[in-house]
């Protein structure tokens, strides 16, 4: 499983220019997180700080107990081996063919023989569907292929943390979705901790387990995807809707009048979209189960709308497993079955009125009951975990298999 990355009070400036200050977040091990933010808010600077390429002035980045902002160079070198980084343009060496580009980290950082290197490099090329393109130069292939080659190179040292800088840049929407699918499938296979920096709203809405947003030199929020995707924060709503009106302007900071904010408050938060599932034939993502346990433990600290969305993802069995009683008729607007409830064991968000959900759900709306007072009893007393689905044989990713014509 990937490792946890703990960022605590991190601040970065270039001279007098503060990029961001006091950024605190934890990338949960093995989960996929996305960092959003308007252009120029320092997302790439953040990625570079995580891998120790830039030194923040304040704060810590703790990985495996080592603060990489303050550790000796030798420790930093060792910690860096945990990372695989996919830069925006793939950062391939233009004069090397794809095979040599992908083999490069193995030649630089390991003592593997050429035949061992070949085995690993071709395995990763197969994963990203580049078998058959070994001899191509980066200048001879499409942007999407360059991204996949960059991803294969990021994978050859079996990273536990993968940083991806704008996977969607320069790609058409279809290639972007395919690359997103590849990242989700990769996570299912290697369970690495993944952080993606993007401004692609579709990617943010469908890929991650957790989302954060940088804005005006601060981390506006970071947490389970349901929190940001249901947030009514004006900058978040403007960003998710891709609207010109709101606090985000061309130069990032903009004075907004009352009327503009009032207009924005009428803009609804787009409905939640389901997360991308792994491709058929691949094992389920272990991170999904871990995240569910984690998020349910912190459920009451989240906004009512986020709680609502999280609980909607639970099956009746999971609700029972996690100590939620099936709610009373009407107290669970997403559910259609007239189920018996103990509303006092439900979080407040469950019994408050909730808007009609736009995506299909097996549970039709029921009349709303009177809200019950919150119970002192935590609603998330977890029971035993559901059994892991049995692994299934590996599937092909893209393109041809090794040896295939």
Ligand X SMILES: Nc1ncnc2c1ncn2[C@@H]1O[C@H](COP(=O)(O)OP(=O)(O)OP(=O)(O)O)[C@@H](O)[C@H]1O
Binding site for ligand X (CB under 6 A): 14, 19, 37, 39-45, 199
Residues 23, 7 contacting (CB under 8 angstroms): yes
* Contacts for 185 with CB less than 8 Å, ≥ 6 apart: 278, 279, 282, 397
**Residue 194 CB-density burial (10 A; 0-12 exposed, 13-18 middle, 19+ buried):** buried
Retrieve residue 228's tokens.
């940001």
Please identify, using beta-carbon distances, which residue of 2 and 38 lies nearer to ligand X. 38
Strand stretches in 46-202, DSSP E? 58-63, 66-67, 83-86, 161-165, 193-197
Identify the three-state secondary structure at position 97.
coil
Alpha-carbon span 196 to 86, nearest angstrom:
9
CB nearer ligand X, residue 37 or residue 144: 37
> Which lies closer to ligand X via its Cβ, residue 59 or residue 347?
59
**Under a CB-based contact definition with an 8 Å cutoff, are residues 235 and 213 in contact?**
yes
Nearer to ligand X, 43 or 146 (CB): 43
Q: With respect to ligand X, which residue has the nearer C-beta, 44 or 307?
A: 44
* Burial of residue 159 (number of CB atoms within 10 Å: 0-12, 13-18, 19+): buried
Least Å from the CB of residue 258 to ligand X: 29
Rounded to a whole number of angstroms, the minimum distance from the CB of residue 47 to ligand X is 8
User: Minimum CB separation from ligand X for residue 216, in Å?
Assistant: 12
265: left (phi over 0), alpha (psi -120 to 50) or beta: alpha
- Closer to ligand X by CB, 41 or 97: give it: 41
Tokens, residue 61? 């980045």
Distance of closest approach, residue 222 Cβ to ligand X, in angstroms: 15
Q: How far is the CB of 46 from ligand X (least distance, A)?
A: 7
Least distance (Å) between residue 264 CB and ligand X: 22
């Amino acid at each position: 499983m990937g490792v946890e990355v703990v960022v605590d009070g991190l601040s970065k400036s270039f001279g007098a220019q503060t990029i961001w200050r006091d950024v605190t977040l934890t990338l949960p091990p093995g989960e996929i997180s996305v960092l959003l933010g308007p252009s120029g808010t320092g997302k790439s600077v953040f990625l570079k700080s995580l891998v120790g390429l830039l030194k923040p002035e304040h704060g810590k980045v703790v990985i495996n107990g080592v603060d990489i902002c303050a550790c000796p160079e030798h420790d930093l070198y060792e910690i860096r081996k945990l990372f695989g980084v996919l830069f925006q343009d793939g950062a391939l060496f233009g004069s090397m063919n794809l095979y040599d580009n992908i083999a490069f980290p193995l030649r630089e950082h390991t003592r593997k023989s050429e035949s061992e290197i070949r085995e690993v490099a071709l395995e990763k090329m197969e994963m990203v569907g580049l078998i058959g393109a070994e001899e191509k130069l980066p200048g001879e292939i499409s942007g999407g292929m360059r991204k996949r080659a960059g991803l294969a190179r990021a994978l050859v040292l079996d990273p536990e943390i993968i940083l991806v800088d704008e996977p969607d840049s320069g790609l058409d929407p279809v290639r972007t979705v395919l690359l997103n699918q590849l990242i989700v499938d990769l996570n299912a296979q290697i369970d690495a901790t993944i952080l993606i920096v993007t401004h692609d709203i579709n990617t943010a809405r469908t890929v991650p387990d957790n989302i954060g947003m940088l804005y005006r030199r601060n981390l506006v929020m970071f947490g389970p995807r349901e929190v940001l995707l249901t947030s009514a924060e004006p900058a978040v709503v403007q960003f998710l809707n891709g609207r010109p009106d709101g606090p985000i302007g061309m130069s990032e900071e903009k004075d907004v009048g009352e009327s503009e904010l009032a207009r924005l408050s009428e803009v609804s938060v787009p409905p939640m979209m389901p997360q991308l599932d792994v491709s058929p034939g691949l094992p389920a993502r272990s991170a999904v189960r871990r995240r569910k346990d984690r998020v349910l433990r912190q459920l009451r600290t989240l906004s009512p709308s986020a709680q609502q969305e999280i609980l909607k993802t639970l099956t009746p069995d999971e609700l029972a497993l996690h100590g939620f009683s099936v709610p009373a008729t009407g107290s669970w607007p997403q559910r259609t079955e007239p189920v018996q409830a103990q509303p006092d064991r439900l979080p407040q968000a469950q019994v408050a009125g909730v808007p009609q959900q736009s995506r299909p759900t097996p549970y039709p709306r029921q009349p709303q009951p009177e809200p019950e007072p919150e119970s002192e009893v935590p609603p998330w007393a977890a029971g035993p975990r559901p059994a892991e689905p049995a692994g299934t044989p590996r599937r092909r990713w893209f393109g041809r298999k090794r040896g295939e014509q």
